C-alpha cells in the first residue's frame, strides 16, 4: 500500500488542476446509548488548491465533526467513519495514526474555535511553538526561537519577543487566537481548517482575525476550509460555500452565485438571520423557527421539512437528492427550490394555509410581535 | 471573580473560561498568602512553624545538641555521670519557664519532644506525597490518556489495593520489615498512598485529555508520548499538588495511629502518636503530655486540610478518594 500511495502522490502532484482535497460520501456516526448519531451523513465536496471553502450551518449541523473527520481527529472510541477522503491523491482514511502524524501540522493544520481552551495553560506560548517547530523541522533551539518570534510577528503580535515568554492567561482572546494561528502555520501546512475561529471573540477582533487568516492564506498559497455558523463571515472571504444541515450538504455553490441565486430554503433562512447595516433600527432578526433536527431519528423525507416555509407533502416522505442547478458548480437538495416556479407555488400555498413557519419567514408573525412589543420599547 | 468561577467549574461542562489550572501560576507566594482567608493564613503559619521547628530539631540532633533545645530523650531528673549530680527536673511537671510544656512521667521535656516529634510527621507526609505524586500521578495521567486495556489493568490493580482495609495492609507490611525506622514507615505509607493519587490523577487526566489544547497538539502532529508528558502531566500535577496537602493530613493521622499502636518508628524516638500512647497510661498524674501532642496533631491536620482545600478551590480540582 505505501508504494502505491507514493506513486499516486507523484501523479497528482504533476496534475496541478486536481483538487487538493476530495471528500466522497463521508459518513461519521457516533454510537451512543440513545442510538446512532449521524453527525455527518454522506458529505461530498472538493477544494482546489489555494481556494477557500466555507462550510456554513447552525449549531449541531455537523461542521466540526466533518472537519475533524477529514483531518482524522475524531478520537472518540465510539466513532464509525465511512466514505473516502483523498488529500493530494492519498487516501487519508486508510492511514494509521502514526502516518497521520506526518500529515498533521505539515500538510494540514487546524485553528480551533476557542483560543481560551486550545492552548496549554501551564506552558509558555513561546515554548509551545518552539517544541513543535523543533520536532517537525529539526532545527536548533535558537533557530526555533527565531522562527517562532518571526511567526508571532507575522500574525501581528506586538512585541513578539516579550510575548514569547507569556503564559496563555496573560494574553487576550484575540492575541491567543493569533498565537493559535501562528502555531497552526508554523510548519507551513498546505491546508488549513478554521473551525469557527472567531466565534469566541469580540466583534472588533473577529474582523482582524478573519483578515489575518485571509492574508496568510494568500501569502502562503494555502487551501482553506472555513467553518462558521455565520453566512456573513464567509460572504467576502470564500470562493465556494457548502451549506450543511443535519449532517448533509444541502446547497453548494461559488460564493457569488450562492448569494445571488440561492436555491435552498435553509440557505435563505440563514441569510435572513444576518443583521444588515441598512435595516431600520430595532428590526427584529428573524431566527429560524423550530429546533435543529434530531440526528438519531432524523425526520423522514427532507430533514429541513419540519421547519421549512416551503414544505409540501412530498417533502415529508421523499429525501431530495443533491442535484445540479443550471449554473455550473451550483448544487442543491430541494424539491421546491427558492426562486423557482415550484418554490413560489409552494410558498403561496403555505402562506394561504397559514403554515406558521411560512408566516414567520414572511415576517407576518414577527410584524405583529413587533407591534405588541413596540409600545413597551417606545415608551 | 475568576477565583469563584474556577471553584465552581466542573469539567463536564465545557464552559470556555473555566478551569485553567495554570492561571495563577506566576503569583508570588506572598501574593498567594495575602489572598488567603484568615483561617488559611493561620494554617499556613502553623505549617511553616512545624516545618521550621522540625528542621531545627533535626539539626540539633545531627549536630549533637548545638542548638538551644533540650534533649527529647533525656530524663531531666536523671543522674549525670559527668557532673555526678542528679538533674533538676521532676516527672510530670506542669508547664513552666524551664519546661515550657511541662515534663512527662519520666521527666522528659515536653516542648523538646513535640518539636522533635514533628520531624516524623513531616517526613511521613513528604515521602508519601512524593510517592503519590510521582508514581500515582504518572500512572493516573497515563491511564486517563491512553484508556483501553492499559487503563483496565492498572485500575483493577489499584482498586484491589484500595479495597483492602488500609490499616490491615499497613500492619502487614510494617511487620514484614525487621527494622521500623522512619524511612521504612514512610515508604510503606507512601506505597499505600499511590492508589488514591492514581485515582485522582486519572480523573484529572480524563478531563484534561478531552480539552481542546490536547486535540490542538494532536492536530499539529505531536507524538502521543509528548502529549502525555507535555500537555497532560503538567496539568494533572498542578491539581495533584493541592490534593497532596489534603492527603498529607490524612497520612499524618495514619502515622499517628501506627505510633499509637506501637507499630511506627521504634522507641525512644518521639513521635506525636507514640507520645500520646506513652502518656495516656499516666494520665492520672498529668494530662499535659497527652494534650500537647494531641493538639499539635489536630492543628497540623486541620492546617493541611485548610490549605489543601484552599488550593483545591483555587484550581478547581475535583475527585478525591482516600
Ligand atoms: N463524540 C460524540 N459522541 C456523540 N455525539 C457527538 C460526538 N461528537 C459530536 N456529536 C454530535 O454530533 C453533532 C454535530 O456536532 P458538531 O460539533 O459537528 O456541530 P457543529 O456544526 O460544529 O456545531 P457548532 O456550531 O455548535 O460547533 C452534535 O449533535 C453532537 O452532539
Ligand atoms: S422545500 Fe421541501 S425539500 Fe426543499 S428544503 Fe423545504 S422541505 Fe426540504
Ligand atoms: Mg463546531
Residues of B in contact with A183 (CB under 8 A): 216, 220
Distance A296 CA to ligand 1 centre (A): 12
pLDDT, tens digit, for every residue of A263-309?
999 999 988 877 666 655 555 555 677 777 888 888 889 999 999 99
* A101 beta partners: none
Q: Which of A32, A34, A55, A65 to mutate to test the pocket of ligand 1 (most atoms within 8 A of CB)?
A: A65
pLDDT of res. B278: 77
Which residues, at least 6 apart from B315, have a Cβ–Cβ distance to it below 8 Å? Answer: B6, B21, B238, B239, B242
pLDDT of res. A28: 94
Q: Which residues, judged by CB distance below 6 Å to any ligand atom, belong to the binding site of ligand 1?
A: A 30, 32, 37, 39, 57, 59-65, 76, 78, 229, 295
Q: Which residue has the higher pLDDT, A333 or B265?
A: A333
Protein residue with least CA distance to atom 3, ligand 1 = A30
Parse chain A into domains and list their residue ranges: 1-107+191-260, 115-188, 262-370
Distance A313 CA to ligand 2 centre (A): 10
Q: How many Cβ atoms from other residues are within 10 Å of residue A124's Cβ?
A: 19
Contact between A80 and A28 under an 8 Å Cβ cutoff? The reply is yes
What CATH architecture applies to the domain A1-107+191-260? Answer: 3-Layer(aba) Sandwich (3.40)
Q: Is A332 near ligand 2, meaning CB less than 6 Å away?
A: no
pLDDT, tens digit, for every residue of A116-142?
888 998 888 998 889 888 887 788 889
> Which grid cell is B151?
487503563
Residue B12 included in any domain: no
pLDDT-derived band at A367 (thresholds 50, 70, 90) equals very low
Q: Which of A290, A333, A334 to mutate to test the pocket of ligand 2 (most atoms within 8 A of CB)?
A: A334
Distance A346 CA to ligand 2 centre (A): 10
Protein residue with least CA distance to atom 3, ligand 2 = A334
User: d(Cα B95, Cα B110) in Å, to the nearest integer?
Assistant: 9
pLDDT-derived band at A180 (thresholds 50, 70, 90) equals very high
The distance of A228 to chain B (nearest Cα, Å) reads: 18
Q: Does A220 touch chain B (CB under 8 A)?
A: no
Q: Is A112 near ligand 2, meaning CB less than 6 Å away?
A: no
Among chain B residues, CA nearest to A122: B22
pLDDT of res. A93: 92
pLDDT of res. B169: 74
User: d(Cα A249, Cα A44) in Å, to the nearest integer?
Assistant: 8
| Chain-chain contact of A120 with B213 (C-beta, under 8 angstroms) | yes
* Count of the separate structural domains present in chain B: 1
> Which grid cell is A91?
487516501
Q: Is the pLDDT of residue A56 over 90?
A: yes
Ligand whose nearest atom lies closest to the CA of A35? 1
Q: Does B8 touch chain A (CB under 8 A)?
A: no
How big is chain A, counted in residues?
Answer: 379
- A window 40-59, beta carbon within 8 A of B: none
Q: Which residue has the higher pLDDT, A14 or A161?
A: A161
Among chain B residues, CA nearest to A169: B23
Q: Does B229 touch chain A (CB under 8 A)?
A: no
**CA Rg value for chain B:** 23
Burial class (CB in 10 A: 0-12, 13-18, 19+), B71: middle
Q: Which of B21, B147, B220 sits opposite A109 (nearest CB)?
A: B220
User: d(Cα A189, Cα A110) in Å, to the nearest integer?
Assistant: 9
Distance B75 CA to ligand 3 centre (A): 75
Q: Which residue has the higher pLDDT, A284 or A227?
A: A227
Q: How many CA atoms lie within 13 A of A286 on its CB side?
A: 21
| Chain-chain contact of B147 with A112 (C-beta, under 8 angstroms) | no
User: d(Cα A132, Cα A139) in Å, to the nearest integer?
Assistant: 10
Residue B62 included in any domain: yes
Distance B99 CA to ligand 3 centre (A): 71
Q: B229: domain range?
A: 39-320
| Chain-chain contact of B21 with A122 (C-beta, under 8 angstroms) | yes
Domain with residue B199: its CATH number is 1.10.3720.10
Residue A337 Cα: closest atom of ligand 2: 4
Ligand whose nearest atom lies closest to the CA of A244? 1
Residue A265 Cα: closest atom of ligand 2: 5
Give the DSSP H/E element, type plus range, for residue A281.
none
| Chain-chain contact of A169 with B22 (C-beta, under 8 angstroms) | yes
Q: Which residue has the higher pLDDT, B285 or A71?
A: A71
Q: A331 phi and psi, to 5 degrees?
A: -130, 150
pLDDT of res. A279: 58
Q: In whole numbers, what is the pLDDT of chain A averaged over residues?
A: 85
Q: Does B149 touch chain A (CB under 8 A)?
A: no
| Chain-chain contact of A184 with B16 (C-beta, under 8 angstroms) | no
Residue A32 Cα: closest atom of ligand 1: 4
pLDDT of res. B125: 87
Q: Is A334 near ligand 2, meaning CB less than 6 Å away?
A: yes
pLDDT-derived band at A377 (thresholds 50, 70, 90) equals very low
Q: How many CA atoms lie within 13 A of B160 on its CB side?
A: 6
Residue B241 included in any domain: yes
Residues of A in contact with B20 (CB under 8 A): 116, 121, 168-169
Give the DSSP H/E element, type plus range, for residue A81.
strand A79-87
ipTM over 0.90: no
User: d(Cα A281, Cα A363) in Å, to the nearest integer?
Assistant: 16
Q: Is A305 near ligand 2, meaning CB less than 6 Å away?
A: yes
pLDDT, tens digit, for every residue of A81-110?
999 999 999 999 999 988 999 899 899 999
User: d(Cα A253, Cα A354) in Å, to the nearest integer?
Assistant: 32
Q: Helical H runs in chain A?
A: 2-14, 63-70, 97-100, 125-137, 141-154, 160-163, 173-185, 203-220, 231-235, 255-260, 265-272, 313-317, 341-352, 356-361, 364-378
Q: In this structure, are strands A52-56 and A223-228 parallel, antiparallel, or unpaired?
A: parallel
| Chain-chain contact of A120 with B234 (C-beta, under 8 angstroms) | yes
| Chain-chain contact of A109 with B22 (C-beta, under 8 angstroms) | no
Contact between A149 and A160 under an 8 Å Cβ cutoff? The reply is yes
Q: How far is CA A72 from the centre of its chain?
A: 16
10-residue mean pLDDT profile of chain B (322 residues): values are: 31 36 59 85 89 84 70 66 66 69 72 83 88 94 91 91 78 76 82 91 92 90 91 88 83 81 76 77 77 85 85 57 30
User: d(Cα B29, Cα A51) in Å, to the nearest integer?
Assistant: 52
Contact between B53 and B121 under an 8 Å Cβ cutoff? The reply is no
- B window 166-225, beta carbon within 8 A of A: 211-213, 215-223
Among chain A residues, CA nearest to B208: A120
Lowest mean pLDDT among A34-43, A220-229, B119-128: B119-128
Residue with cell 488514591: B196
Distance A270 CA to ligand 2 centre (A): 14
Residue B27 included in any domain: no
pLDDT of res. B312: 76
* A226 beta partners: A54, A194
The distance of A191 to chain B (nearest Cα, Å) reads: 12
pLDDT of res. B133: 93
pLDDT of res. A8: 44
Residue A303 Cα: closest atom of ligand 2: 8
pLDDT of res. A277: 60
Residue B19 included in any domain: no
Quote the strand ranges of chain B, DSSP E.
79-80, 85-86
The distance of B231 to chain A (nearest Cα, Å) reads: 6
Which residue from B26, B201, B76 is spatially nearest to A122, judged by alpha carbons?
Answer: B26
Residue B174 included in any domain: yes
Ranked by mean pLDDT, which of A11-20, A187-196, A351-360 comes out on top? A187-196
The DSSP string of B275-298 is HHHHHHTTTTT-SHHHHHHHHHHH
Amino acid at each position: 500500500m505505501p508504494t502505491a500511495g507514493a506513486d499516486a502522490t507523484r501523479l497528482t502532484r504533476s496534475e496541478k488542476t486536481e483538487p487538493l482535497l476530495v471528500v466522497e460520501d463521508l459518513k461519521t456516526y457516533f454510537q451512543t446509548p440513545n442510538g446512532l448519531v449521524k453527525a455527518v451523513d454522506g458529505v461530498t465536496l472538493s477544494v482546489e488548491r489555494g481556494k477557500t471553502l466555507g462550510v456554513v450551518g447552525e449549531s449541531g449541523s455537523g461542521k466540526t465533526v466533518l472537519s475533524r473527520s477529514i483531518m482524522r481527529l475524531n478520537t472518540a472510541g465510539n466513532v464509525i467513519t465511512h466514505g473516502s477522503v483523498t488529500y493530494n491523491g492519498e487516501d487519508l482514511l486508510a492511514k494509521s495514526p502514526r502516518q497521520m502524524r506526518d500529515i498533521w501540522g505539515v500538510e494540514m493544520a487546524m485553528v480551533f474555535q476557542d483560543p481560551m481552551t486550545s492552548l496549554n495553560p501551564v506552558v509558555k506560548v513561546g515554548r509551545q511553538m518552539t517544541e513543535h517547530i523543533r520536532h517537525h523541522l529539526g532545527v536548533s533551539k535558537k533557530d526555533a526561537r527565531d522562527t517562532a518570534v518571526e511567526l508571532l510577528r507575522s500574525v501581528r503580535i506586538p512585541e513578539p519577543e516579550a510575548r514569547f515568554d507569556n503564559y496563555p492567561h496573560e494574553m487576550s482572546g484575540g492575541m491567543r487566537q493569533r498565537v493559535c494561528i501562528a502555531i497552526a502555520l508554523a510548519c507551513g501546512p498546505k491546508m488549513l481548517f478554521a473551525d469557527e475561529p472567531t466565534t469566541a471573540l469580540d466583534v472588533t477582533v473577529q474582523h482582524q482575525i478573519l483578515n489575518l487568516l485571509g492574508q496568510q492564506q494568500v501569502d502562503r498559497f494555502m487551501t482553506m476550509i472555513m467553518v462558521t455558523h455565520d453566512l456573513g463571515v464567509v460572504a467576502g472571504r470564500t470562493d465556494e460555500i457548502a451549506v450543511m444541515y443535519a449532517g448533509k450538504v444541502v446547497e453548494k455553490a461559488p460564493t457569488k452565485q450562492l448569494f445571488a441565486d440561492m436555491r435552498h430554503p435553509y440557505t435563505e433562512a440563514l441569510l435572513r438571520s444576518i443583521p444588515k447595516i441598512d435595516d431600520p433600527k430595532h428590526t427584529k432578526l428573524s431566527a429560524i423557527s423550530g429546533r435543529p433536527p434530531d440526528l438519531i431519528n432524523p425526520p423522514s423525507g427532507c430533514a429541513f421539512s419540519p421547519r421549512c416555509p416551503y414544505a409540501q407533502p412530498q417533502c415529508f416522505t421523499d429525501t431530495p437528492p443533491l442535484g445540479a442547478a443550471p449554473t455550473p458548480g451550483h448544487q442543491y437538495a430541494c424539491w421546491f427550490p427558492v426562486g423557482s416556479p415550484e418554490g413560489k407555488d409552494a410558498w403561496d400555498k403555505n402562506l394561504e394555509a397559514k403554515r406558521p413557519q411560512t408566516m414567520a419567514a414572511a415576517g407576518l408573525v414577527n410584524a405583529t410581535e413587533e407591534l405588541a412589543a413596540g409600545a413597551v420599547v417606545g415608551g | 471573580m475568576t477565583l469563584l468561577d474556577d471553584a465552581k467549574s466542573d469539567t463536564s461542562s465545557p464552559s470556555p473560561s473555566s478551569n485553567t489550572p495554570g492561571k495563577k501560576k506566576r503569583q508570588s507566594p506572598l501574593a498567594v498568602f495575602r489572598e488567603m482567608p484568615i483561617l488559611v493564613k493561620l494554617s499556613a503559619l502553623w505549617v511553616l512553624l512545624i516545618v521550621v521547628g522540625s528542621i531545627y530539631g533535626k539539626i540539633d540532633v545531627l549536630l549533637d545538641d548545638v542548638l538551644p533545645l533540650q534533649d527529647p530523650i533525656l530524663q531531666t531528673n536523671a543522674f549525670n555521670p559527668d557532673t555526678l549530680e542528679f538533674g533538676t527536673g521532676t516527672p510530670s511537671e506542669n508547664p513552666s519557664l524551664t519546661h515550657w510544656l511541662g515534663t512527662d512521667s519520666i521527666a522528659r521535656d515536653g516542648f523538646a519532644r513535640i518539636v522533635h516529634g514533628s520531624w516524623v510527621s513531616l517526613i511521613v507526609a513528604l515521602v508519601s506525597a512524593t510517592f503519590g505524586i510521582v508514581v500515582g500521578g504518572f500512572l493516573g495521567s497515563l491511564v486517563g490518556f491512553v484508556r483501553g486495556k492499559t487503563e483496565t489493568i492498572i485500575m483493577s490493580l489499584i482498586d484491589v489495593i484500595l479495597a483492602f482495609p488500609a490499616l490491615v495492609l499497613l500492619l502487614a507490611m510494617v511487620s514484614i520489615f525487621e527494622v521500623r525506622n522512619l524511612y521504612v514507615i514512610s515508604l510503606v505509607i507512601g506505597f499505600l498512598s499511590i492508589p488514591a493519587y492514581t485515582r485522582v490523577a486519572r480523573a484529572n487526566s480524563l478531563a484534561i485529555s478531552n480539552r481542546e489544547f490536547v486535540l490542538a497538539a494532536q492536530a499539529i502532529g505531536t507524538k502521543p508520548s509528548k502529549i502525555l508528558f507535555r500537555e497532560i502531566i503538567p496539568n494533572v500535577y498542578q491539581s495533584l499538588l493541592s490534593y497532596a496537602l489534603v492527603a498529607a493530613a490524612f497520612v499524618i493521622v495514619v502515622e499517628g495511629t501506627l505510633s499509637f499502636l506501637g507499630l511506627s518508628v521504634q522507641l525512644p524516638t518521639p513521635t506525636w502518636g507514640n507520645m500520646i500512647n506513652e502518656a495516656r497510661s499516666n494520665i492520672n498524674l498529668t494530662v499535659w503530655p497527652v494534650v500537647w501532642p494531641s493538639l499539635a496533631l489536630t492543628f497540623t491536620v486541620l492546617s493541611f486540610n485548610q490549605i489543601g482545600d484552599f488550593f483545591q478551590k483555587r484550581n478547581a480540582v475535583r475527585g478525591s478518594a482516600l
